């Protein structure tokens, strides 16, 4: 039976550390500030934004929430981002995705200055990550690595399989695993004999957005399973990309859904915001 990697416990420890760093910055006259931009009224996005507001408040980070109507044009959004970019009291900028259809997400991401890109999505930060330079790491993949390290199981030399090749999770997760000296395979919809590839993984990261896609026969005995997915099952209950009960019986460690990677994603956003404030103020 696998041990549970608790995102709640790990995130609480990170928040405690961040709170101490916020106090140090405030003692030096700097109040870290995160600006979050929400366009439209997508219910899931609204929930995520409220969670980020709560996290900032808990750790003493200043938060500025900009809520724009669903019919906001790309030019109007870019104008708001320009103002936030120029505002020295704002250290991090996050635009909640997805955006309405009339707005080009890549253009918006590119408009956020790399030094304020606490999501780690800008082409500059992605490029720096690829070549191993200092940068803001994307929050979900960074959280996955923290969860892996918390198990005490070495990453170096292990066979790691990442299910999914999105720019937000799959690709950067693979890159961060490679930086930790794992041997990495990225799987996707065109992968042949997918189940067998997954079954060979010492570390399995599932990030494809399909409820309970990873079945027990796809999990190697003793593997560490990181489930990034947040879905609804046939009964409307929250579940991950992994069939938890089947995988738990075979894995050595596994993340739950809910209570796993999602909480770590939010925690890593706070870490990036503190780093942004330090870099911009020289503290």
Q: What is the pLDDT of residues 107-131, one digit of tens each?
A: 999 999 999 999 999 999 999 999 9
CB distance 112 to 81 below 8 Å = yes
pLDDT attached to residue 104: 97
116 catalytically annotated: no
Binding residues, by number, are 164-166, 230
- The tokens describing 49, both together, are 């934004």
210 catalytically annotated: no
pLDDT attached to residue 172: 97
Residues ≥6 apart with Cβ < 8 Å to 36: 49, 52, 53, 63, 64, 65, 66, 94, 95, 96
CATH code at 139-262: 3.40.50.720
Question: String of b and e for 244-264 (b: at least 16 CB within 10 Å)?
Answer: bebbbebbbbbbbbebbbbbb
Cα 265 to the chain's mean position, in Å?
A: 4
**Domain layout of the chain by residue ranges:** 30-113, 139-262
Instruction: Compute the chain's Rg from CA coordinates.
Output: 19
Among 55, 117, 119, 227, the one annotated catalytic: 119
- The tokens describing 247, both together, are 């995988």
Among 15, 52, 116, 158, the one annotated catalytic: 52
Instruction: Locate all alpha helices (DSSP H) within 186-260, ordered by sequence.
Output: 194-199, 244-248
Residues ≥6 apart with Cβ < 8 Å to 180: 145, 148, 155, 156
Matching fold, domains 30-113 and 139-262 = yes
**pTM over cut 0.85:** yes
pLDDT attached to residue 43: 86
CB distance 159 to 202 below 8 Å = yes
Instruction: Tell me which of 3.40.50.10860, 3.40.50.720, 3.20.20.70, 3.40.50.300 is the CATH number of domain 30-113.
Output: 3.40.50.10860
Tell me which residues of the chain have a pLDDT lower than 50: none
Q: Which of helix, strand or coil describes residue 11?
A: helix
106 catalytically annotated: no
Among 96, 171, 243, 275, the one annotated catalytic: 96
Cα–Cα nearest to 78, from 50, 39, 43, 115: 39
Binding residues for NADP(+), by number, are 164-166, 230
């Amino acid at each position: 039976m696998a041990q549970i990697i608790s995102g709640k416990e790990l995130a609480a420890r990170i928040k405690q550390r961040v709170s101490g760093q916020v106090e140090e910055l405030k003692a030096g006259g700097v109040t870290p500030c995160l600006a979050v931009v929400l366009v439209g009224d997508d219910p899931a996005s609204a929930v995520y934004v409220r969670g980020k507001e709560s996290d900032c408040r808990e750790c003493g980070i200043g938060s500025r929430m900009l809520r724009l109507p669903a019919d906001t044009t790309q030019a109007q959004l870019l104008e708001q981002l320009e103002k936030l970019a120029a505002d020295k009291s704002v250290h991090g900028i996050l635009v909640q995705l997805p955006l309405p259809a009339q707005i080009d997400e890549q253009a918006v991401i590119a408009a956020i200055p790399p030094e304020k890109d606490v999501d780690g999505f800008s082409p500059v930060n992605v490029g720096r990550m690829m070549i191993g330079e200092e940068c803001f790491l994307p929050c979900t993949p960074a959280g996955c690595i923290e969860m892996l390290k918390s198990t005490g199981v070495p990453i170096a030399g292990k066979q790691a399989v990442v299910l999914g090749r999105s720019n937000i999770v799959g690709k950067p997760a693979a890159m961060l695993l490679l930086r930790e000296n794992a041997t990495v395979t990225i799987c996707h919809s065109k992968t042949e004999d997918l189940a067998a590839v997954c079954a060979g993984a010492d570390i399995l990261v599932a990030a494809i957005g399909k409820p309970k896609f990873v079945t027990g026969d796809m999990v190697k005995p003793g593997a560490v399973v990181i489930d990034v997915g947040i879905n609804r099952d046939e009964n409307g209950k929250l579940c991950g990309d992994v069939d938890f009960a089947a995988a738990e019986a075979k894995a050595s460690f596994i993340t739950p859904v809910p209570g796993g990677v999602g909480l770590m994603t939010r925690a890593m956003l706070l870490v990036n915001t503190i780093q942004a404030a330090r870099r911009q103020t020289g503290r």
